[in-house]
Amino acid sequence: MNLRNAGDDVARAVWTALGAIADPEIPVVSIVELGIVRDVRCGDDECVVTLTPTYSGCPAMRVIESDVQSALALVTNRPLRIVTALTPPWTSDAIAPEARRKLAAAGIAPPGEVSRIVFQREAVRCPNCGSMRTEEIARFGSTACKAQYRCRDCLEPFDYFKPH
């Protein structure tokens, strides 16, 4: 999904700055790669950045908003307005392919495709040794967006970014 507007230089600079903001809970990926930034519109009198929460109770949203404020203050002096959009709801399908590789490299198994997986037992690849012989330890992990898994070959526990 490409919601970027063919905009002016300011909007491009804003997108670049947003692309450098790491997700507070999973700092190996940026908020743009996670699909949290929906839209940027820069007019003469203000910049409007539309964000969408991964989970409605995501405690990182406030931190993300304040990170956006500080990052954008460096690239534009237009007043910033942050809008939260719920529709369509964020799903893990919004995570960019490059971010999936970064998650795996950081030891977090990236999510499968939501449409194929919800309510079925999914096969999850161990980010450590690549084995598919893995099992779920718990439905929820260190953050709301992850589940805990264990590899039955290398025996390492790991986080799985849940498709949702």
- The residues that touch another protein, with contacts defined as CB under 8 A, are 53, 55-59, 86-91, 118-119, 137-144, 148, 162, 164
Q: Are 17 and 75 in contact (CB under 8 A)?
A: yes
Q: Are 103 and 28 in contact (CB under 8 A)?
A: yes
Q: What is the nearest approach in angstroms of another protein to the Cβ of residue 41?
A: 20
Name the binder of 129 from another protein, Zn ion, none, CB < 5-8 A by kind: Zn ion
Rg of the chain, C-alpha, whole Å: 17
> Any bridge partners for residue 134, and if so which?
151
Considering the complex, state which of residue 55 and residue 75 has its C-beta at the smaller distance from another protein.
55
The number of helix segments (H) and strand segments (E) in the chain equals: 4, 7
Considering the complex, state which of residue 83 and residue 129 has its C-beta at the smaller distance from Zn ion.
129
Considering the complex, state which of residue 20 and residue 155 has its C-beta at the smaller distance from Zn ion.
155
Name the binder of 162 from Zn ion, another protein, none, CB < 5-8 A by kind: another protein
Which stretches of 20-161 are DSSP H helices?
Answer: 61-73, 97-105, 114-117
Q: What is the nearest approach in angstroms of Zn ion to the Cβ of residue 26?
A: 20
> Any bridge partners for residue 1, and if so which?
none
Across 66-96, b (16+ Cβ under 10 Å) vs e yields: ebbeebbeebbebebebeeeeeeebbbebbe
Considering the complex, state which of residue 56 and residue 66 has its C-beta at the smaller distance from another protein.
56
Q: Are 12 and 19 in contact (CB under 8 A)?
A: no
Considering the complex, state which of residue 38 and residue 125 has its C-beta at the smaller distance from Zn ion.
125
Q: What is the nearest approach in angstroms of another protein to the Cβ of residue 59?
A: 7
Q: What is the nearest approach in angstroms of another protein to the Cβ of residue 159?
A: 12
Query: What residues make contact with Zn ion under the rule CB under 5 A?
Result: 126, 128-129, 131, 151, 153-154
Q: What is the nearest approach in angstroms of another protein to the Cβ of residue 28?
A: 21
